[in-house]
Amino acid sequence: MTYHQSKGEKHEKGEFKCFDHVTFWVGNAKQAASHYCTHMGFEPYAYMGLETGERNIVSHVVRQNTVIFVFKSALNPGNTEFGKHIEKHGDAVKDVAFTVEDCEALIQATKSRSEVSVVKEMWTETDEHGSVNFAVVQTYGDTTHTLVERMGYKGLFLPGYKPPLFVPAIYKTPIPGINFIDHIVGNQPDNEMDSASQWYEKNLLFHRFWSIDDDLMHTEYSALRSTVVTNHQETIKMPINEPAPGKRKSQIQEYCDYNDGPGVQHIALNTNDIIKAIENLRERGMEFLTIPDAYYIKLKDNLSRSRTKVTEDMDVLQKHRILVDFDENGYLLQIFTKPMQDRPTFFLEVIQRHNHHGFGAGNFKTLFEAIEIDQKARGNLNNLQCNCFYGGI
């Protein structure tokens, strides 16, 4: 496991500030948004569709504190762009948007470094609340990044959006208390992690923040390699994973098979109180990976020999199957949902940090073993073979 100390080159003009929002392309945006409201505690935030004058794409926006998810679906038959994406990937993350300063300078800088990354040049949208600049660049697979420069925009979300029309079922359970996006993970086919990471370094001037190889991250059956890229201010963290050779198919390879190539594997959501958050989420019907009791026996033994003290009740952490990773400076608490849709692709993580800036490397083996239990139930923990048909057949 390696931390990279250099912050790398800074843009002469413009700046990547933070995650802005995440856009999913799904078969039924209203139902998907309602699912996240009912089970994850999000609230309807904004809407664009037939009632607002949009005739082609419907957008349901949900929010929890600063975390904003946008669910989009095609309104009309014959929309091949949406149809092909959903046929290939299922319900999936299409775009990870960044809040930026000086969108035009950033997109021009990206163009100067790459001939193929810019999907859409900068454009401006305006309504009675002000103007917002946008541009779109292509990253791994079919995933894009939208650059969003709000310029003091005073509207609800973005130009053209109106207050939501639907109200999901009301739960007496409190909102879980998710505060912001901690990181967003992208899975790559074997031997494509470095090229994906280099794309961020070259085109967006991100730098490498953290990395781990398969010597540290493996189980009896499977392994992975991972590296994390981040912006200059280290407010946007994008881990990039790839499978490593193993006896059986790893969950990274399983993702690539069912996603038909690279894409966003999971989004980590930061909270100040993970125990309360998970209690509330379980009451809402959320399903999480099962962690064996043996993990907590070993964890308690390891912590007894460390100067790091976990202030949370270990029995409560064990009850909710929350993982703990630590070093001599601090610790983090994390838990992973089961897939959020029928395909075993995208899922969510809930994370709480106590002076710990890693990504749970000490838990990777336990996490993989837990996922392998579900892989076995799905009939996918088999001998490794290439079942990926990138681009379709």
The binding site for Fe cation consists of 183, 266, 349
Contact status, residue 134 vs residue 222, Cβ threshold 8 Å: no
From edge to edge, which strands make up the β-sheet containing 2-3?
2-3, 207-212, 223-230, 237-244, 178-187, 263-271, 347-354, 331-336, 323-326
What residue type is assigned to position 288 of the chain? F
Binding site listing? 183, 266, 349
Strand 15-25 to 67-74 pairing: parallel
| Angle at CA of residue 212, ends 221 and 288, nearest 5° | 60
C-alpha closest to that of 205 among 242, 233, 240:
233
Distance from C-alpha of 28 to C-alpha of 149, rounded to nearest angstrom: 29
CA atoms within 13 A of residue 152's CA, in its CB half-sphere:
1
